[in-house]
Amino acid sequence: MKILFLHGWHSLPGGVKPTYLKDHGIEVTNPKLDDDDFQAALEHAREEFDKHRPEVVVGSSRGGALAMNLDRSESKLVLLCPAWKKWGLATKVRSDTIILHSRADDVIPYEDSVELARTSNATLIECGHDHRLADDESLAVMLWACQLSASGEKLPWTEDDPESNSKNKPIGDDATYICDSCGEEIVIPLDLTEGVHQRYVEDCPVCCNANVIFVDVDDRGNVSVHAQPEQDRDELS
Ligand SMILES: [Zn+2]
């Protein structure tokens, strides 16, 4: 898979995120882009795109704004806290765009991505703890989003109706766990917009004993779910 990675303002090529993608076998083009001249950076990004024909363009922060303004309609985008309100003219993306953003981002407001996802009917995944999105979880989600975009497959939890506003709700995507108390198989809806490592308590609908539910998505997009009785929770790390 080929990716064009557009770095953020005053970031350098070879950072944690493109390196992570390279380490997972992806061919990454990571050009040094002009920090001060947005238009020059955009022209440079277009040249790189036309030269390498990447399957996915990943844009981080200002690089996200560059990705949105590329004018290459065939390009699939994975945007990391895109600074689209600060740079460039584009205010919409393709609906198959995946946006990653942390609610705790103190550089680019999380709400900017909420707005972009809503007006474009794109998918927003909340992850990470800051603007950098360089923690293990964010890196894994980024890789997963790139692989999914490149494959052309639909997001596992999105619905068919493009007019619907409930994009962030899981539709028809369920998982099951076995209740430890009664042995029944319990069906739960999956909402991956809640994160790739979820922990929550739910009463078994059959025997009413409380279970701690663990939902984990690995970096290949495989979902695993299991449950433990709540009284064991103190032993969990
Ligand atoms: Zn039960």
Shared-domain flag, residues 65 and 104: yes
Shared-domain flag, residues 110 and 184: no
Stretch (H or E) spanning 185: strand 185-189
The pTM assigned to this predicted structure is 0.69
Shared-domain flag, residues 62 and 111: yes
Residues flanking ion ligand 1, Cβ below 5 Å: 179, 181-182, 204, 206-207
161 domain-assigned: no
Stretch (H or E) spanning 43: helix 38-52
What is the number of domains present in the chain? 2
Report the separation in Å between the CA atom of 186 and the middle of ligand 1, taken as the mean of its atom positions: 8
Shared-domain flag, residues 117 and 185: no
Report the separation in Å between the CA atom of 231 and the middle of ligand 1, taken as the mean of its atom positions: 14
Q: Which long-range contacts (CB under 8 A, 24 or more apart) does 63-69 make?
A: 63/5, 63/6, 63/7, 63/8, 63/11, 63/33, 64/6, 65/38, 65/90, 66/6, 66/33, 66/38, 66/41, 66/42, 67/6, 68/93, 69/42
**pLDDT at residue 170 in the model:** 36
More confident residue, 72 or 156: 72
Look up the domain containing 221 and give its range: 174-235
Report the separation in Å between the CA atom of 209 and the middle of ligand 1, taken as the mean of its atom positions: 6
162 domain-assigned: no
Shared-domain flag, residues 80 and 131: yes
Shared-domain flag, residues 130 and 26: yes
Domain harbouring 28, CATH code: 3.40.50.1820
Report the separation in Å between the CA atom of 170 and the middle of ligand 1, taken as the mean of its atom positions: 23
Shared-domain flag, residues 187 and 145: no
Shared-domain flag, residues 46 and 115: yes
16 domain-assigned: yes
Shared-domain flag, residues 145 and 205: no
Compute the distance between CA of residue 210 and CA of residue 203 in angstroms, rounded to an integer. Answer: 4
Q: Let me know the angle formed at the C-alpha of 155 by 154 and 161, rounded to the nearest 5 degrees.
A: 70
7 domain-assigned: yes
Compute the distance between CA of residue 62 and CA of residue 41 in angstroms, rounded to an integer. Answer: 10
Compute the distance between CA of residue 159 and CA of residue 161 in angstroms, rounded to an integer. Answer: 6
122 domain-assigned: yes
167 domain-assigned: no
106 domain-assigned: yes
Shared-domain flag, residues 29 and 121: yes
129 domain-assigned: yes
- Domain ends where: 118, 151, 184? 151
Report the separation in Å between the CA atom of 228 and the middle of ligand 1, taken as the mean of its atom positions: 11
Do the bridges between strand 210-217 and strand 223-229 make them parallel or antiparallel, or are there none, so unpaired? antiparallel
Instruction: Quote the longest CA-to-CA distance of the chain.
Output: 64
Stretch (H or E) spanning 229: strand 223-229
Shared-domain flag, residues 127 and 179: no
Tens digits of residue pLDDT in 9-65: 988 778 999 999 999 999 999 999 999 999 999 999 999 999 999 999 999 999 999
Report the separation in Å between the CA atom of 185 and the middle of ligand 1, taken as the mean of its atom positions: 8
CA nearest neighbour of 149 among 123, 175, 119, 174? 123
Tens digits of residue pLDDT in 91-127: 999 999 999 999 999 999 999 999 999 999 999 999 9
Report the separation in Å between the CA atom of 202 and the middle of ligand 1, taken as the mean of its atom positions: 10
pLDDT band at 156 (very low <50, low <70, confident <90, very high): low
Report the separation in Å between the CA atom of 234 and the middle of ligand 1, taken as the mean of its atom positions: 20
Report the separation in Å between the CA atom of 236 and the middle of ligand 1, taken as the mean of its atom positions: 20
Q: Specify whether the CB–CB gap between 146 and 26 falls below 8 A.
A: yes
Q: Specify whether the CB–CB gap between 167 and 158 falls below 8 A.
A: yes
For the record, the structure tokens of 3 come out as: 């990716």
CA nearest neighbour of 182 among 216, 207, 162? 207
Tens digits of residue pLDDT in 174-206: 788 899 889 999 988 887 777 788 899 999 999
Shared-domain flag, residues 134 and 200: no
Report the separation in Å between the CA atom of 5 and the middle of ligand 1, taken as the mean of its atom positions: 47
- Domain ends where: 151, 183, 199? 151
DSSP string, 192-208: GGG-SEEEEEEE-TTT-
